[in-house]
Structure 1
Amino acid sequence: MAEANEFQIPRVKLGNQGLEVSKLGFGCMSLTGVYNSPLSEENGIAVIKHAFSKGITFFDSADIYGPHINEILLGKALKQLPREKIQIATKFGIQTLELPNVKLNGSPEYVRSSCEASLKRLDVEYIDLYYQHRVDTKVPIEETIGELKKLVEEGKIKYIGLSEPSPDTIRRAHAVHPITALQMEWSLWTRDIEEEIIPLCRELGIGIVPYSPLGRGFFAGKGVVENVAANSLLEMYPRFQGENLDKNKAIFSRIEGLAGKHQCTPAQLALAWVLQKGDDIVPIPGTTKIRNLDNNIGSLKVKLTEEDLKEISDAVPLEEVAGGISFQNMDHLRWQYGNTPPKN
């Protein structure tokens, strides 16, 4: 089995603007709840410090996680780590998230106030990578990126990112200031970005940061060998519900079989599949458990050929995946609606 003993995590360039990060990042969201109960501050900091000790230097947060408490937790962990060796990514733009009501804000005034607030919560002088979390269709993207460009010039942020934008939005934003990274959902069972978004990123020299690369834990056994936690947001996710989940278990079984062939865990195989889609890809799986973190790091040691990658893809036919690609009532946050008003 691929394990994470004394293994050096590679360093890669994320985008072509100069940002260098660990090939595997860490998504901090779950440390303060969403899919599970939040960890204590002590345990959350311990997970972040363990990730760094293993060679992960790229940590992802957002002001809406908590809200706010995720950034505060990350900031406290940073006090026990060498700031100059860490790359912090955080996000702004979702002003309120009370399902089904979601308020987005991309105005220049909100951009600046959000950045100042995140800097304070993180207790840092600069943010390495600052994303617009979701596109506010009421504000021209040129205005939003224009303010982010000013923040770069002032040294408050180093690089600009976008999360879930449409292709047109990407081009328009990149024309104002180079976009360093794009954060999108990408996993074995969510591959809608492959046809248009990935080629566009490579055309423009934009790095790709897949979130939920394990299908929100499904390919690690969530909902199959491990129950979904009570009051988890996953209860709203169609793929983890009733008959959909029963059908999707067949997909997990196929990946489990292929993992045995490659002498790794299903999670490692699914994550290795994403990792080996290109040198410009840095997934950010999250976890609350150190053993799962070590397991994820072990995916970097799983080597797959082009034939292996195809075999793994073919084991998850998208037409067989049961359930929609988004949380109920949140389809308007998907990139394909990026340039049209949200549906009520």
Structure 2
Amino acid sequence: MASSAVEEVRVPRIKLGSQGFEVSAQGLGCMGMSAFYGPPKPEPDMINLIHYAASRGITHLDTSDVYGPHTNELLLGKALKGGIREKVELATKFGVKIEDGKREIRGDPAYVRAACEASLKRLGVDCIDLYYQHRIDTSLPVEITQNLPRFRTENMEHNKNLYERVNVIASKKGCTPSQLALAWVHHQGNDVCPIPGTTKIENLNQNIGALSVKLSAEDMAELESIASAGIKGDRLPPGFDSWKTSDTPPLSTWEAT
């Protein structure tokens, strides 16, 4: 996709939920700026990236207290100064507590209040626009591993073949595989907002370009047929995909302290 075409795209707005809350149709995941994908990136560069994203209409910024931990929220706090806060929708998360190198899922009210107050302080704001639970507390210990199931040897070749099929479609559409993936998400409806993360302005522009990728019913059907072949391996290690085991005890069992 030509860079000139990318520059012309203005990110539209969508509504999340039923209460009129509006965000940019594509967000910016900020995790990789501070954690998990290599060493933290230079703060001035990341602040510049966040400001640039806002100028392009990407105003839905997503972070979490566990990114770093804490350092990503501190970075966002610096980036939000100088009037930027009023131009963006700020999302952060709670629920994963790391202490003495151990990871714990927490969802009790006292912890949530303390976590929220700490996030407000790090972000330097008095209001968080979207505050949600990062992982569901099922009162079970979380197993930790850096070995993602989809990239294990026994799954890699199968998943690589699926990627190659997607890549062929992307070539036909004149876009990158990542743009095609984002376009597929956008085509799920105007109430769906992907939040791809990046640490580079050129990649941010490429992500915005996904908004210009139009998929026909035939394109969608072909992508669905590839997906139906089944990706081998879970996206995350055991204990992280908490939506799979999200049943919680009944309210009647809770005794407030």
Q: TM-score, normalised by structure 1?
A: 0.66
Give 1:129 deviation, angstroms. Answer: 0.5
Match in the other structure for 2:111: 110
Aligned partner (choices 82, 85, 88) of residue 84 of structure 2: 82
Count matched residues. 244
Query: Cα distance, 1:11 vs. partner?
Result: 0.5
Does residue 122 (structure 1) correspond to residue 32 (structure 2)? The answer is no
Instruction: Give distance in 2, aligned partners of 1:340 and 1:109.
Output: 18
Q: Is 1:292–2:203 an aligned residue pair?
A: yes
TM-score, normalization: structure 2? 0.87
- Residue 61 of structure 2 corresponds to 59
Match of 2:232 among 304, 322, 327: 322
User: Following the alignment from structure 2 to structure 1, what is the Cα–Cα distance between the partners of residues 127 and 233?
Assistant: 40
Residue 72 (structure 1) shift: 0.4
Q: Is the 8 A contact 2:136 2:242 kept in 1?
A: no
Structure 1 residue identity aligned to 2:78: K
- Asked if residue 25 in structure 1 is aligned to residue 11 in structure 2, the reply is no
Asked if the contact 1:31–1:44 (Cα under 8 Å) also holds between the matched residues in 2, the reply is yes
Return structure 1 stretches of 4+ with deviation > 6 angstroms: none
CA deviation string 1:60-80 (max 9, x = no partner):
001111110000001100114
Q: Which runs of 5+ in 2 are unaligned?
A: 250-257
Query: Residues 250 and 56 (structure 1 numbering): CA distance in 2 closer, same or farther, change over 3 Å?
Result: same
1:234 Cα offset (Å): 9.8
RMSD of aligned Cα (Å): 2.3
* CA distance in 2 between partners of 1:8 and 1:52 (Å): 11
What residue number does 2:15 align with?
A: 13
SS of the counterpart of 1:130? strand
Q: Relative CO higher for 1 or 2, CA cutoff 8 Å, sep ≥ 6?
A: 2
Q: What is the CA distance between 1:81 and its match in structure 2?
A: 4.4
Cα distance between partner residues in 2 of 1:81 and 1:244: 47
The correspondence of residues 1-344 of structure 1 with structure 2, limited to 5 A, is 1=1, 3-96=5-98, 101-138=102-139, 236-319=147-230, 321-327=231-237, 329-331=238-240, 333-339=241-247
**C-alpha separation in 1, matches of 2:206 and 2:46:** 18
Letter in 2 for 1:296: N
> Does the aligned pair in 1 maintain the 2:51–2:84 contact within 8 Å?
no
**Distance verdict in 2 for CA 1:326–1:308, change over 3 Å:** same
What is the Cα deviation at residue 123 of structure 1? 0.2
8 A contact 2:137–2:248 mirrored in 1: no
SS at match of 1:250: helix
Q: For 1:277 and 1:91, locate their aligned partners in 2 and report how far apart those are by CA, in whole Å.
A: 24
In 2, Cα distance between equivalents of 1:235 and 1:252: 22
Q: Would the alpha carbon gap of residues 41 and 257 (structure 1) be closer, same or farther in structure 2, given more than 3 Å must change? A: same
Identity of aligned residues (%): 49
- Give the unaligned 5+ runs of structure 1: 139-232
